Structure 1
């Protein structure tokens, strides 16, 4: 193969993309004291399409942290390292009192697909959720809505096999890798279409729970209607009770580029004691599908509008009923050019503190992103 032929093969079969983001965070409860944090976040995505059936992928996150939190929080590196996989692909390159640098492989898989089959082996995202905010069916890699800067969302080390039984139905089996059997998840999902709705039924072993799941997605007139239900039954020597986690959502798009989304979450295992939680639980990277929120009943609403092709805005709110916590997240985005984006995001927390409803904390995020 000549050099020209090699170059053509690479250009046709290898895809490379990524971005560099700078995120500045100002955190405060009152204006008497403002913490300032900085993050440079680089992502590199490589995919090789070896032939019509085989794809190999590797995706890396490289992050540099400095600022108030790095200096003031003991062992801050372990908090952001997110090495909760039993196969550790995270490298702590710099760990100094004022600067931390992390490199992490969060996707590494081989994907084989044919007309009827798809087999994926390696670190991947198994996305079984249907709702925007809370996904009780997302057994393998639950994520937090509060962590808005991680758009790709977590992955898991797993083997996934999908068989397309017909044009609108499929059977999917997945098992993730852990050092101990009690910590892993094995699940079977059946997808089908009925009454113009897409349904999914799940039978699983989730950690030390037998699990049944149901999800759906469709429309009521012009309004989107989605839902996910999961029922967990502990087995063995577990002292936990049976738990039910369910979420339903409605979304509607108006002609003037305004969209609305409302959702509710119920967790039978949630807490009702306002002193038994802190706001860090809401955006913890170790969140799990049984505890998408710390409390029992939660309600979500979001309104979004596209003002111009380059300018958009939204405001989201969550009310955690049992613990009297209210969260607001306004966001403004501006597409500077084809590859440059800028956004401003606020996160404001209100709740009970010493029997009084007050502000628990605020953060303002300024973010620049260059994509390539």
Structure 2
């Protein structure tokens, strides 16, 4: 296993060699760019009603949780030869937040992009301050070596070796085939995909067609924590068609992705069937196999309005939220990065450019079985070239939660019941300031 200090040392040596030998490369051999982003978020958790012997007792009001996240990302690409390049990206993120020990926030509901991929052999230390053995307070400094890969451009294929972004799917909101390192639908910062450690080959086989294959390494190179994939993409009569097979953490996924224009609109279908532990005959259980599919279309109006709508079917989900534990306990679903617990979802959205500098948008995700809905209105102002200010809210509507107990039995045992999916998400509000350079 690589020591974490060894990983960072190798990275620094590579960068040092590149920076100290500029005469070996053309004048434009090195490019450096990036961005600075600052997010302020405030979370308002749902209140919980308490009932004793079916009589209302009191309402517990949850405190507001707030955080300020500053995110500096530096990206660099070095052209070593005309066929070989090195790409890197490093994130530095100071964060001030309300002490999470007072009101813990589940990681799957975190809105700021702090998600870390499980497909990494090793990594540099994530939290710089406080130290690993120190108690976490209301301020922390974090880092992420998110890209570090070599690109080899040969005559027949492009080869990528190292930490890189790998993602698939044409769907706008929920991608069934994207199982390696996807973002949740309510992430604020989805500009850069989470890097994974992989070896990848992309070979063109015709106009807009390719073979894409690779191996993605898990922790300490363990095969049961790793993934491998083979994808073929062709363009047939204006349709982009992709067939995909992914073996991940001993599961097998077979996927299909189709995207094409129809008239003035765009259409897409993305579906995937997951076979639980299909690559481990000793643990194979067909009861946990599931299918997920997304179908949708979009259309752009002449006045600058963009419209889209998607329907998503989740075969691992349930119609009754009170049975959501069945979905949560499906290990293959979790390993496929699934997080929604319902079966049927509808996701419409609209963006409109009010002026050349101001854009407003609204998107929602509705669980049709609960029913419950998550509404996401946003507004963005382009202050100057490469400088943006935006704000918005993510609001959940639906049945909340209550705690019930019986006074006839002492001590009173309380049972928490959640009545819907999005009715139990926190409402949160955000502003963001972004500068690109």
Among 382, 385, 388, which residue is 1:338 paired with? 385
Residue of structure 1 equivalent to 2:412? none
Largest Rg, 1 or 2: 2
**1:1-372 equivalence runs, <5 A:** 6=22, 9=25, 11-29=27-45, 33-70=63-100, 72-73=102-103, 80=114, 82=116, 84=118, 85-95=120-130, 96-178=136-218, 179-234=221-276, 235=278, 236=281, 237-239=283-285, 240-275=287-322, 289=336, 291-353=338-400, 354=402, 360-372=425-437
Contact 2:364–2:374, Cα closer than 8 Å, also in 1: yes
Deviation at 1:325, TM superposition (A): 2.3
- TM-score w.r.t. structure 2 length? 0.76
1:12 alignment partner, SS class = coil
Going from structure 1 to structure 2, the CA distance change for 1:94 and 1:73 (only over 3 Å counts) comes to: farther
Gaps of 5+ in 1: none
Going from structure 1 to structure 2, the CA distance change for 1:88 and 1:188 (only over 3 Å counts) comes to: same
C-alpha separation between the residues in 2 aligned to 1:120 and 1:314? 36
2:160 alignment partner, SS class = strand
C-alpha separation between the residues in 2 aligned to 1:219 and 1:370? 34
Q: RCO greater where, 1 or 2, for CA within 8 Å and sep 6 or more?
A: 2
Deviation at 1:9, TM superposition (A): 4.9
Contact 1:136–1:230, Cα closer than 8 Å, also in 2: yes
Gaps of 5+ in 2: 1-20, 48-60, 131-135, 403-417
Deviation at 1:214, TM superposition (A): 0.8
> Number of aligned pairs?
363
2:179 alignment partner, SS class = coil
Going from structure 1 to structure 2, the CA distance change for 1:254 and 1:230 (only over 3 Å counts) comes to: same
Moved over 6 A (4+): 75-79
Contact 1:90–1:105, Cα closer than 8 Å, also in 2: no
Contact 1:25–1:36, Cα closer than 8 Å, also in 2: yes
Contact 2:116–2:194, Cα closer than 8 Å, also in 1: no
Q: Which has the higher strand share?
A: 1
Show CA shifts across 1:207-261 (max 9, x none). 2222211111101111100111111122221335221111111000000000101
1:352 alignment partner, SS class = coil
Which is further off, 62-71 or 116-125? 62-71
C-alpha separation between the residues in 1 aligned to 2:240 and 2:399? 41
Contact 1:120–1:160, Cα closer than 8 Å, also in 2: yes
Contact 2:251–2:275, Cα closer than 8 Å, also in 1: yes
1:72 alignment partner, SS class = coil
Going from structure 1 to structure 2, the CA distance change for 1:171 and 1:81 (only over 3 Å counts) comes to: closer
Aligned-residue RMSD, C-alpha: 2.9
